[in-house]
A and B are shown apart, each in its own frame.
Chain A
Amino acid sequence: MGKRSKVIEKDAVVIRFSGDSGDGMQLTGTLFSNTSALFGHDISTFPDYPAEIRAPQGTVGGVSGFQVHIGHKLINTPGDFTDILVAMNPAAVRANARWLRKGSTIIYDSDNFTEKSIQRAGYKADPFAEDKLDSMNLIAAPITTLVKEALKDMEIDPKTVLRTKNMFALGMVYWLFDSKLKYTEDFIEEKFGKKPLVAEANSKVLRAGYYYGETIEALTPSYRVDPAPIKKGTYRNINGNQATSWGVLAAAEKAGLKLFIGSYPITPATGILEELALRKDMGVKSLQAEDEIAGICTSIGASFAGRLAVTSTSGPGLALKSEALNLAVMTELPLVVIDVQRGGPSTGLPTKTEQSDLWQALYGRNGESPVPVLAAGTPSDCFRFGFEAAKIAIEHMTPVILLTDSYLANGSEPWKIPSTKDLPSITVPYAVKTDKEFLAYERDPETLSRKWAIPGTPGLEHRVGGLEKTIKGSVSYTPENHEYMVRIREEKVERIVRNIPDLKVHGRKTGDLLVIGWGSSYGHIITAVSELQQEGYSISAAVFNYIRPLPKNTAKVFAGFDKLVVCELNTGQFANYLRMKHQKYTYNQYNKVQGLPFTVKEIKDYCVKLLKGKKNG
């Protein structure tokens, strides 16, 4: 391919593909990400799209974006600011103007910058001037015209021709990075295998975009991002929903159980049901239930009958499931409830991220209802915590809530594929028939969990249910028995602390400031704190994955710092939880509730302010 004149070497670059929700930006972003990952970059992605499948064309509300951060260094976030923006229309410029770094490159489809579409996006006449972007490196490409030209000899309908525009843009970006087209071409072939004309059109346009980049080389620098120093091994790209699904599947295999999932479609959790529905080859039984309640109730039934049962949902669905979740608390059956959080309350912001279901997970049920709560930190981390949630559920005979969120569910990153032989073992507390009468609520003296007696086993016939029970499983309204059972269910969940790892501190164990977070804020917090450490601040971070129970060294970690700040995407749910659990500390809060993840910059700015700019000695 052509020789390049201006090549900018960078450690990391953020690219954002942006257009109408029907423009194929999610696919374009995914293909670029996978190509980069295959090349050896570390990556992190952030799809950001409207709830409407086809929102009004050309409006800012209808803009669908896919951001990917690629790096020669290790990448923990999808990036705060964009280096390269691909804008398919003026609305995409408007929606992303505030996220552009100085000196960014904007590639835009100039055919789509008509007076009408410019005004539709809320501009008067000149988008770049009005948003003060004229100093950026603007690359106008008449993509619509070029695509039509490239395909003029092919016998395909005009609609299909226009649908290939995203491939043209992708081809241009590939040229900027001197990327190989092979992965994308293979993908096109597989996807459109049955429609060879469509496949040919897409490939042709992809190449046309690439060569167009070469032709206009004078206008633009190209980028070189070397591969990242990544550990040896076999890798794949994985998003949070896929990782969660595979995590529970791995737990089932490890425990020698078959998996059942009963779920109801809900954004952004649906991917989990979809992923597991594919796995009939591995004996996964999946049911798309008639509603959220049936999702969890079929799962409880399956658990009673001896399967590892999972139900996946998002905040509104968890609300509907809460009564049944208590049935699992009362019957003490293993169950994994995955809540892929989104912006609330009510329908809220279905496609946007938030960490605001924490209290619902901890407290959103009637009666004294202890349920372990875990939260995954990164997309690939969802595998570990899917596995861990299932392990705790089985070994402690309890429902477990796993919190992920829209950011993790849709975000992806390269993942070093583990070998299942390295995963922890899972011991299933089966009941076995003995000479003695089987008592449904007899407990293991260590974990306090009851035994799992599987229907079909002779001699273990028993009844469970939502009414308060005696140790034998008989219904009991005796005052003392109720209090005993309430306390023992609580203690059972508290004792899980014996089997969970200590809280890790990122950085020194003492210092001026500890930045505390939980779940998906991991990447932004770790990146911000690492940068501040390099800048000389006495700062560390601790990001929780185990919310209930909290790790046993929590207070010890907190005691090492002068100041604590809890960063979370809600108005302070975890901070207040910590105030209750560890009262002697003072917690500063840094909160954001905009349906967006943190940026590294805003966390850094807040920390520097808290430290009053004071650096180490």
Chain B
Amino acid sequence: MAETNINHYAAKDFKSDQEVRWCPGCGDHGILASLQKTLAELDIPKEKYVFVSGIGCSSRLPYYMNTYGFHGIHGRAAAIATGIKIANPDLMVWEMTGDGDALAIGGNHYIHAIRRNIDIKIILFNNEIYGLTKGQYSPTSKKGLTTKTSPYGTIEEPFKIGELTIGANGRFFARTVDYNLQLSNEVYKEAARFHGTAVVEVIQNCVIFNDGTHDAFTSKENRDDNTITLRHGEKMIFGKNRDKGIILKDLKLKVVTLGENGITEKDILTHDAHEPNPGIHYRLAGMSLPEYPVALGVIRAINAQTYDAAMIEQHERVQAKSRIRTVDELLRSGSTWEVK
């Protein structure tokens, strides 16, 4: 899809002069590249972008982006981003975070940002591991994963990010894969154009501490059969031969094969990302192997008033009624008396 680009930016205009320090082969390189490409294609002047992050490998990204950037503290990116957006709603605020940063130490800010629907774009790098502290399990690590802090395997159930997000009343949830620059570009653009908290889970591979954790659906041989890319208005069809689809049966999603048991294309569900009822999106976001393919693309995108817009509206309402504009007027409001 061709974009009009009034700013005539190229991806390289968003590269900062800082040396990129992620490990060779790290999925983060792909995320950075597709974000830079996305920004170059949007009609927004460079100075309006702010990249905010917490702590972790993901959170180094703002240093590599030639925009305004704020590298925060562990878990707090969503809160910092919220403050920036409220202070100046003209800015486009991107939060770079990871599964540990957003969902463990920052879990509270994460759910509340989503609940408020503050207009920030949350790019959540999910590698199911703590990388910067060198390999401890995270809230998304698969149950049983052996790491340095779970030498006998974890005994915890992981979060599924999509379920958590939609459960927190998320209005936008999408999923992409670090190396899939084309899908990422498409999803980031949709997130950018969405008004409200947009969460993009990026399936990211940590080559050092959790290499191949997503292979079951991201490797070359598996990806076609084990993922489904959802697009609003399109049939939920997937597979190497485009012969599999998803239907709703007995209130459950079900994978079927076209041509088998009389299934035809019209039996297959059509993706409606704009359906306000979260039920179907919750199920789609929660699909996992071996029963289902993993859903990619924009799973949910419903419009609702944003927190920042609601605040402006409330200010206008109050200002229309109140006569107080200056501190002098405020200090003299209410009960005062003269001493002569």
A307 touches B87 (CB 8 A): yes
Is A327 in contact with chain B by the CB < 8 A criterion?
yes
Docked complex: A222-250 residues within 8 A CB-CB of B: 230-237, 246, 249-250
Q: How far is the CA of A183 from the CA of B109 in the complex (A)?
A: 46
- Within 8 Å by CB of A463, from B46, B69, B336, lies B69
Q: When A231-B339, A236-B331 are in contact, do A455 and B326 touch as well, CB less than 8 Å?
A: no
Provide the residues of chain B in CB contact with A231, threshold 8 Å: 339
Minimal beta-carbon separation of B340 from chain A (angstroms): 6
Q: How far is the CA of A416 from the CA of B88 in the complex (A)?
A: 35
Of all chain A residues, the one with the shortest Cβ separation from B18 is A474
A455 touches B47 (CB 8 A): yes
Is A464 in contact with chain B by the CB < 8 A criterion?
yes
Q: How far is the CA of A291 from the CA of B105 in the complex (A)?
A: 13
- Within 8 Å by CB of B335, from A237, A282, A290, A301, lies A237
* B interface secondary structure, majority: mixed
Provide the residues of chain B in CB contact with A456, threshold 8 Å: 47-48, 88, 90-91
Q: How far is the CA of A232 from the CA of B88 in the complex (A)?
A: 43
- Chain A interface residue count, Cβ-Cβ cutoff 8 angstroms: 68
Provide the residues of chain A in CB contact with B76, threshold 8 Å: 293-294, 297, 324, 327
B80 touches A301 (CB 8 A): yes
Provide the residues of chain B in CB contact with A183, threshold 8 Å: 335
B90 touches A290 (CB 8 A): no
A236 touches B73 (CB 8 A): no
Is B83 in contact with chain A by the CB < 8 A criterion?
yes
B314 touches A280 (CB 8 A): yes
Q: When A234-B338, A461-B47 are in contact, do A290 and B109 touch as well, CB less than 8 Å?
A: yes
- Within 8 Å by CB of A461, from B68, B83, B311, B327, lies B68
- Within 8 Å by CB of B83, from A34, A260, A279, lies A260
Provide the residues of chain B in CB contact with A290, threshold 8 Å: 79, 108-109, 112
- Within 8 Å by CB of B337, from A37, A327, A466, lies A37
Q: When A302-B87, A420-B327 are in contact, do A281 and B319 touch as well, CB less than 8 Å?
A: yes
A297 touches B326 (CB 8 A): no
Contact mask for chain B residues 299-322; partner A; CB cutoff 8 A; 1 contact, 0 none: 000000000000100110011011
Minimal beta-carbon separation of A6 from chain B (angstroms): 29
Minimal beta-carbon separation of B32 from chain A (angstroms): 14
Q: How far is the CA of A467 from the CA of B83 in the complex (A)?
A: 20
Contact mask for chain A residues 278-304; partner B; CB cutoff 8 A; 1 contact, 0 none: 011111010101110110011111111
- Within 8 Å by CB of B70, from A230, A235, A301, lies A301
A246 touches B331 (CB 8 A): yes
Q: How far is the CA of A262 from the CA of B47 in the complex (A)?
A: 25
B84 touches A281 (CB 8 A): no
B67 touches A305 (CB 8 A): no
Docked complex: B167-223 residues within 8 A CB-CB of A: none
A301 touches B315 (CB 8 A): no
Provide the residues of chain A in CB contact with B46, threshold 8 Å: 458, 461
Minimal beta-carbon separation of A461 from chain B (angstroms): 5
Q: How far is the CA of A455 from the CA of B80 in the complex (A)?
A: 14
Q: How far is the CA of A280 from the CA of B325 in the complex (A)?
A: 9
Q: How far is the CA of A439 from the CA of B171 in the complex (A)?
A: 39
B47 touches A417 (CB 8 A): no
B108 touches A460 (CB 8 A): no
Q: How far is the CA of A577 from the CA of B314 in the complex (A)?
A: 47
Of all chain B residues, the one with the shortest Cβ separation from A260 is B87
Provide the residues of chain B in CB contact with A298, threshold 8 Å: 79-80, 82-83, 86
A285 touches B331 (CB 8 A): no
Provide the residues of chain B in CB contact with A460, threshold 8 Å: 47
Of all chain B residues, the one with the shortest Cβ separation from A417 is B331
Minimal beta-carbon separation of B175 from chain A (angstroms): 25
Provide the residues of chain B in CB contact with A246, threshold 8 Å: 327, 330-331
- Within 8 Å by CB of B339, from A235, A282, A285, lies A235
B83 touches A297 (CB 8 A): yes
Q: How far is the CA of A237 from the CA of B66 in the complex (A)?
A: 52
Most B CB within 10 A of own CB, among A260, A279, A331, A465? A465
Provide the residues of chain B in CB contact with A302, threshold 8 Å: 83-84, 86-87
Q: When A246-B327, A305-B88 are in contact, do A465 and B339 touch as well, CB less than 8 Å?
A: no
Most A CB within 10 A of own CB, among B69, B318, B322, B330? B330
Provide the residues of chain B in CB contact with A419, threshold 8 Å: 328
A464 touches B337 (CB 8 A): no
Provide the residues of chain B in CB contact with A281, threshold 8 Å: 318-319, 321-325
Q: When A246-B330, A250-B327, A456-B88 are in contact, do A304 and B70 touch as well, CB less than 8 Å?
A: yes
Minimal beta-carbon separation of A273 from chain B (angstroms): 15
Is B235 in contact with chain A by the CB < 8 A criterion?
no
Is B72 in contact with chain A by the CB < 8 A criterion?
yes
Provide the residues of chain B in CB contact with A306, threshold 8 Å: 87-88
B86 touches A260 (CB 8 A): yes
Minimal beta-carbon separation of B89 from chain A (angstroms): 10
Provide the residues of chain A in CB contact with B319, threshold 8 Å: 280-281
Is A323 in contact with chain B by the CB < 8 A criterion?
yes
Q: How far is the CA of A520 from the CA of B337 in the complex (A)?
A: 26
Is B290 in contact with chain A by the CB < 8 A criterion?
no
Minimal beta-carbon separation of A44 from chain B (angstroms): 17
Minimal beta-carbon separation of B334 from chain A (angstroms): 7
Contact mask for chain B residues 35-71; partner A; CB cutoff 8 A; 1 contact, 0 none: 0000000000111101011010000001100111111
Q: How far is the CA of A464 from the CA of B52 in the complex (A)?
A: 10
CB pairs A–B below 8 angstroms (17 shown): A40-B337, A235-B338, A258-B87, A281-B318, A281-B324, A290-B79, A301-B82, A304-B83, A304-B87, A324-B76, A455-B88, A456-B90, A457-B47, A458-B45, A465-B62, A466-B71, A474-B18
Among all A-B residue pairs, the 10 with the closest Cβ atoms: A301-B83, A465-B71, A298-B83, A297-B79, A281-B322, A463-B69, A305-B87, A302-B87, A301-B80, A290-B112
